[in-house]
Structure 1
Amino acid sequence: MGSASRQALETAIAALDKLGSTDLATGERLLAAARAIAGSTQLRALLADPGIEAQGKSRVVNQVFSGFGDIVPVLDAVVNARWSSGNELVDGIETLGYRAVSASAPQGVSVDRELFSFGAAVGSNSELELAVGSNLGGHGAKTVLVDRLLVNASEQTRVIVRHIVQSPRKRRFSDAIRRAASVVADQSGLGVATIRTATALTAAQLDRLEKALSVRYGRQLSINQVVDTGLIGGVRISIGDDVIDGSVATRLNDLRLQLAG
């Protein structure tokens, strides 16, 4: 996301915070608005155009989203901020939707962990990822499949995953799930550590790693485990801009570079 869009996102989050407490319906309306704008090239271009006056954009928002209740002022603030592109404007509204949905979760429900776990399960099965993430096929069938797979998950997690299958936007499904989980973790005040290993770690290993990294970084971290057989062995950890790479694949590549030199 460009610097202009990052500033716009801060403005958008502040507008959402002004609503006070948000419920699940608020998040669902924001995600529905994101889908509507993503699905209309003309609307997306108009609302992201910095050359159009704020009054004109506000008029469009009030006309198109008149039935969306409390989120209309939020959408008005979003479209009148300066975004780097129409796609990033949609990303911004989507982010607000994820934050509102996750904020409505009952105490003790970890939406980010449910999303990370589901993304990992789907990402490890190419047929399943194609079934839920392909741009082909009807959204209705995918939604039914998602609800069946997430029968034991929270309603908040199901709402977010339904949104992703209804609005794929040429994204890999697993990437979209990881982004949503990262937004949810951030909204909960958690950092996100993505752990890549050649084989899955046990729950005990993940727990020890989470505690060690949380101490090192001075904040609670949410662990996103990704199995990547290309690593051969070892572990690669990404936390924000920091990368700790102890994978066998990287060490072998470093060795090849040294021999080539």
Structure 2
Amino acid sequence: MGSATTQARTATAEALTNASGVDLDVARELFAAVGAVNGSAQLSGALSDSSAPAAARAALVTAVFGSAYRETTVSLLRRAAEQRWSTAAEFVDGLEELAVRAATVADASVDIEGELFQFSRTVASNGELELALGGRLGDASGKASLVSTLLDGRASAPTALIVSSLVQNARGRRVRSLLRRAESIVADQRSSIVATVYAAAPLNGAQQTRLQNALRARYGSAVSLNTVIDPTVVGGLRVQVADDVIDASVSARLADLRQRIAG
């Protein structure tokens, strides 16, 4: 990712923070704009062309989307188009990130990170489902219908919108990769980090609180926990935050003991 894109993403995220009236309809329109821009090489090229004046790119957004989308949506799209992006593909990625962030802002009360994680686990455990959602041959509406069926009553509206929109416009990416990226964006929007906890049994409320407090002290940020029940852990916990792994499981201590005896 180029430095121009990094700065553009930051500016676009700030525009969302300062925007008013961001709800699920705005997020839905932003996802629709991602599809429209991605589907037209001419449009994506024109909107990400840094040699054109920023005002001209913003005016093009108004001309294309102004009559169909709400003013909040159009304003956010204009702000994104005014930035300098390294490539047209990164501009499309930036719009997608903006849409995920908008869905996150639309309802702060739901555990979108956890719901995305659980759906990702479902996909990972079912090869046929992953193929149905990520295969190049399936049509977008069919994938959206499948997501709706799977998540109906099991996930919030923001999560359902994010998942449905991503699988309809995968752009060659694997479903699990899309979900992990979305989970990371949601956590960043909420100024938190995601910790995946591997345990032999579910954690109770007090255990979760103690772990979150310990991780907050270590990483200096609020922590969202995703728990995976793994009998091989035996006891204790294994915690992964990005590439950082904290292994306090009994199985790890036993392995270490065996190495010491053997060595």
TM range (shorter): 0.7 to 0.9
Q: Does 1:41 align with 2:30?
A: no
Alignment counterpart, residue 76 of structure 1, candidates 75, 78, 86: 78
Hey, what does 1:182 align to over in structure 2?
184
| Aligned AA (2:95) | I
Identity %: 39
Tell me the distance in 1 between the aligned counterparts of 2:246 and 2:219: 16
Contact 1:135–1:168, Cα closer than 8 Å, also in 2 = no
Secondary structure at 1:68's aligned position in 2?
coil
| CA drift at 1:194 | 4.4
| Aligned AA (2:62) | N
Gap runs ≥5 in structure 2: 231-236
Q: Does 1:140 align with 2:134?
A: no
Q: In the superposition, relative to structure 1, how do residues 213 and 30 fare at CA in structure 2: closer, same or farther (>3 Å)?
A: same
Q: In the superposition, relative to structure 1, how do residues 102 and 84 fare at CA in structure 2: closer, same or farther (>3 Å)?
A: same
**Hey, which bits of structure 1, 4+ residues long, moved more than 4 A?**
208-211, 224-228, 245-248
| CA drift at 1:201 | 5.0
Tell me the distance in 2 between the aligned counterparts of 1:202 and 1:211: 20
Q: Which has the larger radius of gyration?
A: 2
Hey, what does 1:154 align to over in structure 2?
156
Gap runs ≥5 in structure 1: 229-233, 256-261
Q: In the superposition, relative to structure 1, how do residues 226 and 46 fare at CA in structure 2: closer, same or farther (>3 Å)?
A: farther
Hey, what does 1:103 align to over in structure 2?
105
> TM-score if structure 1 supplies the norm length?
0.81
Q: In the superposition, relative to structure 1, how do residues 149 and 89 fare at CA in structure 2: closer, same or farther (>3 Å)?
A: same
Contact 2:193–2:241, Cα closer than 8 Å, also in 1 = no
Aligned positions of 1:177-256 closer than 5 A: 177-194=179-196, 201-204=200-203, 207=208, 209-224=211-226, 235=238, 237-239=240-242, 243-244=244-245
Contact 2:134–2:174, Cα closer than 8 Å, also in 1 = yes
| CA drift at 1:14 | 2.2
Tell me the distance in 1 between the aligned counterparts of 2:227 and 2:42: 39
Q: Could you list the per-position Cα deviations for residues 202-245 of structure 1 after superposition, in whole angstroms to 9, with x for gaps in the alignment?
A: 321893654532332232212346799xxxxx957233xx5237
Aligned positions of 1:48-67 closer than 5 A: 48-66=48-66, 67=68
| Aligned AA (2:82) | N
Secondary structure at 2:121's aligned position in 1?
helix
> TM-score if structure 2 supplies the norm length?
0.81
Q: In the superposition, relative to structure 1, how do residues 120 and 56 fare at CA in structure 2: closer, same or farther (>3 Å)?
A: same
- The aligned length equals 244
Quote the RMSD (CA, aligned, Å): 3.0
